[in-house]
Chains A and B, each alone.
Chain A
Amino acid sequence: MDFVKPTIEYAELWPLLLVFGVAAAGVLVEAFLPRERRRVVQVVLALGGLAAALVGTVVVGTGLTSLGDGAARGLLGVEGTLVIDGPTVYLWGLVLVFSIAGVALFAERRLEGGVSAFAGQAAALPGTEAERQASTQGLDHTEVYPLMMFAVGGMMLFPASNDLLTMFVALEVLSLPLYLLCGLARRRRLLSQEAALKYFLLGAFSSGFFLYGVALVYGFAGSMQFGAINEAVRNDADNEALLLIGMGMLAVGLFFKVGAVPFQSWVPDVYQGAPTAVTAWMSAATKVAAFGALLRLFYVAFGSDRWSWQPMLWVVAILTMLIGAVLAVVQTDVKRMLAYSSIAHTGFVLTGVLGLQASSDLAVGQVTSLEAVLFYLTTYGFASVGAFAIVTMVRDSGGESTSFPRWAGLGRRSPLVAAAFAFFLLSMAGIPLTAGFVGKWAVFTVAMSAGAWPVVLVAIASSIIAVYFYIRHIRLMFFSEPDGEVASVTTPSLLTSVTVGVCVLATLFLGVLPGPVLDLVTQAGQFIR
């Protein structure tokens, strides 16, 4: 048997490799540096690595060669297991931007009075002497940075994978660190650990389905590669049941990651239990990565079999939007409300996925659903990171204060922070001149042009339901009399306040002048096979 050395396109892959390299370096830092110096080094390493990777992504993006008719640009790398094309590069950029914000939130220490939001010693049982000691000594887990960098690497690999096995590996690489990070909250540790365990068990369960789907689709197509699967789908009508069941299983794994109904049950518990900094980052970055993978799988591998998966997606999108919006109404906790709203947003993005993706199906110059989805993810990500970042700042004596009554009258105590939060909520609600409006407009039009008007009808109905609970919260902050103990805003360091500021500006900018970013997603073009 001949052994051929694989060619690896370092010139295009280096941002991805850099992130993994920084993660590995972070592990070494943990091993060899004294405890008190680790944090600064880790933060600088993580921020530097992410920033360098972001620069690299831009460089790679501008250097991509055009393919075919110019609608798609990019190349297949590492013997066809990875694909570096316009959408990949755009998604990398998004993941990196949100991760930089995530690192900033991770590194925030002023809010907890000099320690981070992560458990001092995760191994100490809650409520024991060991835990008390860890907190009096001001211990801190700096392992969160390398963990996060591994997850970021996985998130970049996920939408770039061009075969089923790579996709599965990426899924696991991004998930495992996330499970851990979710369990590391400094306060309410049982809730946090419960969330992490739940996330892990259900994640493992759905990964199992994904893997089974990989096997079935391989059985159908005889190949793992998306291009080859696409060929098989187009030519081979035998064994269709094998393909369909496999397709369903793969979908389950991805639906779980994006939090689509009926695989959403973990979302509220995990978003609520995880440290809020983790929630902020993962609500944006995981969604971006998982939707990237979902789009690639369905558009590239199963693209020519659209008619068989679209009705299923209709059902899932409708359920997701309705259940997310309706259940958000009855929540009494800010983080849970945002979690259900994130489920509803998953539904809106799925509405965009339903649109037409091939430029041949479209009138000249119409938006493709890929572009709409990418733009929507951008708008949602900034609002979500910003909103959760504000949640970290609203505190009372017991730490973050997330129950509704505590937020009453916040607008009078801290008008700026409350106004920023209200602005994010308005953007999520899709009020014009915020980013959310343009995003919704884009995904709804692409779905309409694909004839999915029942889905759009439900989408608009659920966005009305959603407006109700967003506005109710704004009213709570500005118009309600506080009753009993209330939360107030703790002044954070620049790390958090700059993050919130950037998110506000981005949300405003994307709403008033979305042109440049819309141009960018158009530039990203299409997936290549």
Chain B
Amino acid sequence: MYALTESVHIPVVDPAQADGIFSLMWLVIGLPLLGAVILLLGGRRTDRWGHLLGTATALGSFVVSLLMFITLLGRGEEERQIGQHLYDWIQVGGLDVGMDLLYDPLSALFLLLITGVGTLIHVYSIGYMEHDPRRRRFFAYLNLFVAAMLMLVLSENYVGLFLGWEGVGLASYLLIGFWQHKPSAAAAAKKAFVMNRVGDMGLSLAIFLMFLTFGTTSFSGISAASSGATESTLNAVGLLLLLGACGKSAQVPLQAWLLDAMEGPTPVSALIHAATMVTAGVYLVVRSNFIFELAPVAQTTVVVVAVVTLLWGAVLGCAKDDIKKALAGSTMSQIGYMMLGAGLGGVGYAFAIFHLLTHGFFKANMFLGAGSVMHGMNDDVDMRRYGAVRHAMPVTFLTFAMGYLAIIGFPGFSGFWSKDKLIETALAENVFVGLAALVGAGVTGFYMTRLMLMTFFTEKRWKADVHPHESPSTMTIPLVVLAALSVLGGVLLLGDWIVEWLVPVVGEGEHHEPPIPALAVTVLATLTAAIGVATAWFLVGKREIALTPPQDVSFATRAARADLYGDAINEAVVVNPGRRLVRGLLTFDRSGADGVFTGGASAVSGIGGQLRKIQNGFVRSYALSVLAGVLLVVLALLAVNLS
């Protein structure tokens, strides 16, 4: 399809022993973990100061991460990989998995994002969850999440990564279902967990396969040996890793859980389902560059998945009236962009991480802004009942606007730089992929403007008992900080800093020249976004917005409202055959409910005769099944050997 980057030098992970400030690396994970343990085991005694402790541990992690980052900046390029061995986790024979940490330029950036945005969201949650009686528990889960996410990005081997991977899944499950009194929240939590497990299956198979092929699961071992494996093995590993990434990062076909996950409290949506956890799939692909660079089929598949998802998510974002679901569709689409970069390889890795960081800023900003709006609107999420909120909530409006300008790629804002680079790289590799990315940028302009207009502009459509008001300062200060980052995030690209910075991790990628000059690409991307914005202005801003969604809409709108039939597809392909299988199996087995009722009820009333009849029947049928089993076993033995 597109020209492969043949001569890429794949760097080998070879960390130096941790010293100085780096020997505190374990503290980054340890602090929030300690916070979670204290808050969970401490019970009600910690209710009064639990939220402060939770925030303090996140802040402590951030300080350590920042100190390490500054020290790392001062080091030479080849000394920027630092490892720390904590203890031998699983060690038996050749199965040697240590609790090893790896701090390198990639994990350094993730550490800053997770602990930085994490701290801000902790602060915000102090205000947002103020009236919730279970606020302490919420902070315990948040701390647990931060610890698991840090484990994910700091581990030096795939098993440790898997530990963090499952940990964030568990924390996300607990937090989506935090408002357990809502059945929809509990159902969404379960859906997220189960769909993630499908992805986890891919990841765990990939780990087994790598262990079998390379005899180790550590990044250093695999990156040193990956060029020795056959291409088909690497393709298989890459595809399985991609399956894992799809589950965690809500990429097609495992995308259906993300929109439902918005049932969780808004800070959760900001931290987990926008800034950090859902980008773990991108991290996985970038981290495994030593696999993907040598696995062309897997790499192409990553690009295909990314393109489908970035359009899919954008379409969903256009039709949703729930402000958080619209943002979730947008998240899906933006992660598609990052995946695209990661799939293109070479310099694409660096741009993917760049977009991941800027997206972390502006999307967290917008989610928290949405939470602030909901806070003022009695927790209503339907944008059809918003409108003209900007007067009541000026700080929220202004900060949200910064995020908005960043995501549509308004020149100068962070998203402009990062998305532009991705589109440019995509165009250079393959025209069709590039065009799809360009179209995605236009749709982004449309749905974000629609959201902006419906919420902050147009005439007010609130109910009479709603009195929008600005949120407390614990909520607005994080908004201001994130807004500033959304504006200024682009500085990371100054002098190609981020590309240079990531060279020790992903190698020196050649920069293919796009078919048209880079400046033309930039202008084109900006124009496309402008067309999207203008369309939204004419379709949404200039018209009356009905309080209930109109029903006489086109097929496309209906499909988008139904999540492009994602659930229906799952139902038809997975759930229904599964149900039929169970029903078929049940005919061979007494169902649980029947057993309890016949057995229990007869025991009470003492109708022995009837039970004996049932009982005889069952033993006979069980014995028959044993006999059938004997035949199966013996025939299986004979068939294999005497054929």
> Which residues of A does B touch, CB under 8 Å?
126-127, 188-191, 194, 197-198, 201-202, 205-206, 209, 240-241, 244-245, 247-249, 251-252, 255-256, 261-263, 265-266, 268-269, 272-273, 307-309, 311-312, 315-316, 323, 326-327, 329-333, 336-337, 363-368, 371, 402-403, 431-433, 438, 441-442, 444-445, 448-449, 456-457, 460-461, 464, 467-468, 471-472, 475, 478-481, 512-515, 518-519, 521-522
Contact of B457 with A by CB under 8 A: no
Interface segment among B63-71, B84-92, B226-234: the answer is B84-92
CA distance A269 to B591 in the complex (A): 11
> Are A438 and B90 interface neighbours, CB within 8 A?
yes
> Are B596 and A456 interface neighbours, CB within 8 A?
no
> Are B606 and A479 interface neighbours, CB within 8 A?
no
| Residues in B whose Cβ lies below 8 Å from that of A467 | 193-194, 197
Chain B residue nearest to A481 (CB atoms) is: B181
| Residues in B whose Cβ lies below 8 Å from that of A327 | 582, 585-586, 589
For B78-110 the 0/1 string (1 means CB < 8 A from A) is: 000000000111111111000000000000000
> Are B193 and A471 interface neighbours, CB within 8 A?
yes
Answer whether A265 and B622 are a contact pair too, CB < 8 Å, given A198-B615, A312-B636. yes
Chain A residue nearest to B162 (CB atoms) is: A432
CA distance A255 to B602 in the complex (A): 32
Answer whether A471 and B190 are a contact pair too, CB < 8 Å, given A327-B589, A330-B592. yes
Answer whether A475 and B94 are a contact pair too, CB < 8 Å, given A188-B599, A308-B641. no
Size bin of chain B's contact surface: 35 or more
> Are B201 and A460 interface neighbours, CB within 8 A?
yes
> Are B619 and A330 interface neighbours, CB within 8 A?
no
| Residues in A whose Cβ lies below 8 Å from that of B629 | 252, 255, 261-263
| Residues in A whose Cβ lies below 8 Å from that of B608 | 126-127, 190
CA distance A206 to B630 in the complex (A): 9
| Residues in A whose Cβ lies below 8 Å from that of B626 | 202, 205-206, 252, 256, 262-263, 265
> Are A205 and B193 interface neighbours, CB within 8 A?
no
Chain A residue nearest to B602 (CB atoms) is: A190
Answer whether A461 and B90 are a contact pair too, CB < 8 Å, given A191-B603, A330-B582. no
Partner of B595, one of A127, A268, A329, A461: A268
> Are A332 and B641 interface neighbours, CB within 8 A?
no
Answer whether A308 and B94 are a contact pair too, CB < 8 Å, given A263-B626, A265-B622, A332-B592. no
> Are B595 and A445 interface neighbours, CB within 8 A?
no
Q: How far is the CB of A218 from chain B (nearest CB, A)?
A: 17
| Residues in A whose Cβ lies below 8 Å from that of B162 | 432
Answer whether A273 and B599 are a contact pair too, CB < 8 Å, given A252-B629, A365-B94, A522-B92. yes
| Residues in B whose Cβ lies below 8 Å from that of A315 | 632, 636
Contact of B611 with A by CB under 8 A: yes
Partner of A479, one of B88, B89, B180, B204: B180
Identify the 5 closest CB pairs spanning chains A and B, nearest first.
A262-B629, A127-B606, A248-B634, A518-B92, A479-B180
CA distance A311 to B204 in the complex (A): 24
Which of chain B's residues 562-612 have a Cβ closer than 8 Å to chain A?
578, 581-582, 585-586, 589-593, 595-596, 599-600, 602-603, 606, 608, 611
CA distance A273 to B89 in the complex (A): 40
Contacts A/B (CB < 8 Å), 22 sampled: A190-B602, A198-B619, A201-B623, A202-B622, A240-B641, A244-B638, A247-B637, A249-B630, A265-B622, A268-B595, A272-B599, A311-B636, A323-B585, A327-B589, A432-B167, A461-B201, A464-B198, A479-B177, A514-B89, A514-B90, A515-B88, A522-B93
> Which residues of B does A touch, CB under 8 Å?
87-95, 159, 162-163, 166-167, 170, 173, 177, 180-181, 186, 189-190, 193-194, 197-198, 200-201, 204-205, 208-209, 211-212, 215, 578, 581-582, 585-586, 589-593, 595-596, 599-600, 602-603, 606, 608, 611, 615, 618-619, 622-623, 625-626, 628-630, 632-634, 636-638, 640-642
> Are B611 and A309 interface neighbours, CB within 8 A?
no
> Are A475 and B633 interface neighbours, CB within 8 A?
no
Chain B residue nearest to A426 (CB atoms) is: B170
> Are A367 and B630 interface neighbours, CB within 8 A?
no
Partner of A209, one of B193, B593, B630: B630
CA distance A438 to B634 in the complex (A): 34
| Residues in A whose Cβ lies below 8 Å from that of B622 | 198, 202, 265-266
Answer whether A479 and B602 are a contact pair too, CB < 8 Å, given A467-B194, A518-B91. no
| Residues in A whose Cβ lies below 8 Å from that of B589 | 265, 268, 327
Q: How far is the CB of B198 from chain A (nearest CB, A)?
A: 6
Chain A residue nearest to B633 (CB atoms) is: A248
Answer whether A308 and B208 are a contact pair too, CB < 8 Å, given A252-B633, A441-B90. no
Partner of A252, one of B212, B596, B602, B630: B630
Q: How far is the CB of A330 from chain B (nearest CB, A)?
A: 6
> Are B93 and A366 interface neighbours, CB within 8 A?
yes
Q: How far is the CB of A123 from chain B (nearest CB, A)?
A: 16
CA distance A191 to B590 in the complex (A): 14
| Residues in A whose Cβ lies below 8 Å from that of B590 | 268-269
Chain A residue nearest to B592 (CB atoms) is: A331
CA distance A207 to B162 in the complex (A): 44
| Residues in A whose Cβ lies below 8 Å from that of B201 | 460-461, 464
> Are B186 and A479 interface neighbours, CB within 8 A?
yes
Chain B residue nearest to A251 (CB atoms) is: B633
CA distance A422 to B641 in the complex (A): 45
| Residues in A whose Cβ lies below 8 Å from that of B586 | 327, 330
Partner of A445, one of B166, B208, B596, B615: B208
> Are A333 and B581 interface neighbours, CB within 8 A?
no
| Residues in B whose Cβ lies below 8 Å from that of A448 | 208-209, 211-212
CA distance A457 to B606 in the complex (A): 47
| Residues in B whose Cβ lies below 8 Å from that of A445 | 95, 208, 211-212
Q: How far is the CB of A396 from chain B (nearest CB, A)?
A: 13
| Residues in A whose Cβ lies below 8 Å from that of B599 | 188, 190-191, 194, 272-273
User: Assuming A248-B638, A312-B640, what are 4 further A-B pairs, CB within 8 angstroms?
Assistant: A241-B642, A249-B630, A403-B596, A438-B90
Answer whether A333 and B93 are a contact pair too, CB < 8 Å, given A249-B634, A252-B629. no
| Residues in A whose Cβ lies below 8 Å from that of B637 | 244-245, 247-248, 308-309, 312
CA distance A378 to B110 in the complex (A): 38
Q: How far is the CB of B574 from chain A (nearest CB, A)?
A: 11
CA distance A21 to B173 in the complex (A): 52
Partner of B582, one of A251, A268, A326, A457: A326
| Residues in B whose Cβ lies below 8 Å from that of A311 | 636, 640
> Are A272 and B95 interface neighbours, CB within 8 A?
no
Q: How far is the CB of A265 from chain B (nearest CB, A)?
A: 4
Partner of A432, one of B163, B600, B625: B163
| Residues in B whose Cβ lies below 8 Å from that of A265 | 589, 622, 625-626
CA distance A481 to B180 in the complex (A): 9
Q: How far is the CB of A69 from chain B (nearest CB, A)?
A: 16
> Are A371 and B633 interface neighbours, CB within 8 A?
no
| Residues in A whose Cβ lies below 8 Å from that of B186 | 475, 479-480
